[in-house]
Chain A
Amino acid sequence: MKRVIGVVSLAVAAGLSGLAEAQVLKSVRDRGALHCGVSQGLPGFSNPDDKGNWTGFDVDFCRAIAAAIFNDPTKVKFTPLSAGDRFEPLRSGQIDVLSRNTTWTSSRDALFNFVGVTYYDGQGFMVRKALKVNSALELNGASVCAQTGTTTELNLADYFRANNMKYEVVAFGTADETIKAYESGRCDAFTTDVSQLFAEKLKLSNASDHVILPEVISKEPLGPLVRHGDDQWFDLVKWVHFAMLNAEELGVSSKTLDEALKAKQPEIRRMLGLEGSHGEQLGMTRDWVVRIVRHVGNYGEVFERNVGTSSKLGISRGLNRLWTKGGIQYAPPIR
């Protein structure tokens, strides 16, 4: 009897204190894999291919972290999460980083640390061409399908209220259920971030019957986030993002990397670890950026490969161009 109680209380106490660890980098190294939360399947952002390998813009960010730590982009375990259940696994330590097109808002930042904006997005609408609607302002009285647990529902309510229009929202738990209901005709419009509209449109059987309306009704800065309470890990993940932007800005890509390693430009030499020990300061190795660019590529390469005009989604860079090219992607320097 006593022994049973002892064992039970030990087990429970162990379960209770699981949250206390702070050294994420150490535990990632010890277990030999990064735990990364992604979506349940969003083409271009995080989607398993025919062989079950995860691909996409958000996936590549986690691969870049793994490349920087292990020099091996495959050392990532991906956990698919619904919009509603994405935060709890991060809070409880089940995943180390959440890279799942998550909007940076003040209330979420109060609980987690957003490492930056990997994708500047905004919310939009998709409708059937047959409706002959050209603007979101013509949607008075429409039924709108949305995914629950996102900023989408709130923006939708705000937009219709601000424009004094009536609407009906039908909210579903997963993206698949939402697009399925829209396709069945339950709703006149489907709303989510514009990048996702492009991605979800690919899932429709007759994609050309649908059109994405020009209005962007909200700011949706999407980015990866980590838990509170571990500044070292926060910095590391943040700088993986900045490194990819800096690499693009300095013209270092996976194709030009070998030449760049012979470059004389001090900025490039610092970034690639030929001068100084910036990677080590961040808890990685000197050649961390070399590893990221070799295995995953710079920001521009990742964007084009997964969601850019040459990909299936065909999204133009827009706001996500570098600041030097008319966009707002801007990274602090490595020095």
Chain B
Amino acid sequence: MTKTAFYNKPRFRSAVYQLAVLAVVVWLAIEFAINARVNLEAQNVRFGIGFLDDPAGFGISQALISYSEQDTYRRVFFVGLLNTLLVSVLGIVFATFLGFVIGLGRLSPNWLLARLAGGYVELLRNLPLLFQILFWYLAVLLAMPGPRQSIAIGLQPILRSIADGLALVESSGAAGAVAQWLRSLAEWAGSPSMFLNNRGMFVPRAVFADGSGLVAAAFVVAILAVVGLRRWARRRQDATGVRFPVLWTSLALLVGLPAIATLAVGSPVSFEAPELRGFNFVGGLRVIPEFTALLIALSTYTAAFIAEVVRAGILAVPKGQSEAAMALGLRRGTALRLIVIPQALRVMIPPMTNQYLNLTKNSTLAVAIGYPDLVAVFAGTTRIQTHQAIEIVAITMAVYLAISLATSFAMNLYNARTRFGER
């Protein structure tokens, strides 16, 4: 065997190439930084993130933490970030749920259901998302009546309209009597406290007085009890085959314990209803239409993709698995839940992660309808007011990268858990 020169060894060569590429990347980064700095200094732009402590001076329509115009740009950043996270997390939850329903529907032996689900997927995934957001915002939510003609949601208006309908059919006799009775029932139900108009949705807000802590504690205890109960019931079923009505018991626990606590301390939780005052509703909890439109558009759009992921995942499970389940006497739903979906999950998770990341990134389209997400208030208004474009764009990109990496990481953990044991 001839001796190869050290510079001809593959290991040496690859090391040299990698070092060279690394050096070029580092050099480029330094060059960019120096160049940006020189040019910005020439244009009198100060470089750095000191601007974060300056007062912002502008208003924001939705803030999950307290915010006023006197707060700093740093606060604006967190307000925007939380708004982005809120719409992304809720969007992911809704899109997953809807996607599962539609994906399963498309595989249903029911012809109509399968076609409807197929139509949903083809329609929603083939229209540009921006148009869908604008559609929900301008054509649906802003087409609602104004604050003074709000749609009241509650038992009373429903009962009243049924009574009116009945009275139209027959003003006297049995129908008339029922209508009369419905009207008195409506009276008893009290005036509604939920309203829908083109300024958003207004619902009562819970006001917590002293003693609320006990109710909250009761709720936590109930949750822990439910978790324990499930474990116990499962172990018992595995051992003896006897089933336990977990669902009903859990519901009773979750509702019952806090209810008992409420009675014990004398109703510490009250509700503040919204009321029309001046231009708009005051008090209560408000969901702005920008948020609703964005959430609906993002979840229905992403659900179309998730439905296909779910369908692919289920079709990837060999048919013999569900046939075997049927042969054991399991019903279709149970077979799906216990046999097919657990196996389908491991195929579904990687593409599902993609959809979650897409949803989060797509939420930046918020700026088109005035939803104050991170891009709108920080990479938008703050950037324009402070002229610190490079820093702000870099921070914003870093934040989206961090959110995406965190999502990937969580999904990878889940993926590792659902993987088959090696045989």
Contacts and interface: CB of A to CB of B under 8 A. Distances in A.
Nearest to A157: B69
B44 A110 contact: yes
Interface stretch (B305-313, B369-377, B410-418): B369-377
A229 B280 contact: no
Contacts of A158: 57
A154 B278 contact: no
Contact of B376 (A9, A111, A148, A180): A148
A168 B385 CA distance: 20
Contacts of B289: 186
A12 B28 contact: yes
Contacts of A184: 138, 142-143, 198
A171 B199 contact: no
A5 interface: yes
B43 A186 contact: no
Nearest to B42: A229
Interface stretch (B31-39, B121-129, B348-356): B31-39
A198 B376 CA distance: 27
Given A161-B69, A171-B376, A143 B387 contact: no
Nearest to A150: B384
B112 to A, nearest CB: 36
Given A171-B370, A186-B142, A228 B42 contact: yes
Given A16-B35, A111-B45, A177-B370, A154 B60 contact: no
A310 interface: no
A188 interface: yes
Interface residues of A, number: 51
Contacts of B376: 148, 171, 173
Contact of B279 (A83, A141, A157, A181): A141
A156 interface: yes
B43 A228 contact: yes
Contact of A148 (B20, B278, B290, B380): B380
* Most B CB within 10 A of own CB, among A111, A158, A185, A186: A186
A213 interface: no
Nearest to B28: A12
Interface string B390-417: 0000000000000000000000000000
Interface in B279-310: 279-280, 282, 288-290
Nearest to A177: B368
B368 A186 contact: no
Interface in A128-163: 131, 139-143, 145, 148-149, 153-154, 156-158, 161
Cβ-closest 6 pairs across A and B: A184-B142, A149-B384, A153-B58, A169-B59, A141-B278, A157-B69
Interface of B: 17, 20, 24, 28, 31-32, 35, 39, 42-45, 57-61, 69, 138, 142-143, 146, 198-199, 277-280, 282, 288-290, 367-370, 372, 376, 380-381, 383-385, 387, 389
Given A12-B31, A87-B387, A148-B367, 4 more contacts: A1-B17, A111-B44, A141-B282, A181-B370
Interface of A: 1, 5, 8-9, 12-13, 16-17, 19-20, 83-84, 87-88, 91, 107-108, 110-111, 131, 139-143, 145, 148-149, 153-154, 156-158, 161, 167-173, 177, 180-181, 184-186, 188, 227-229
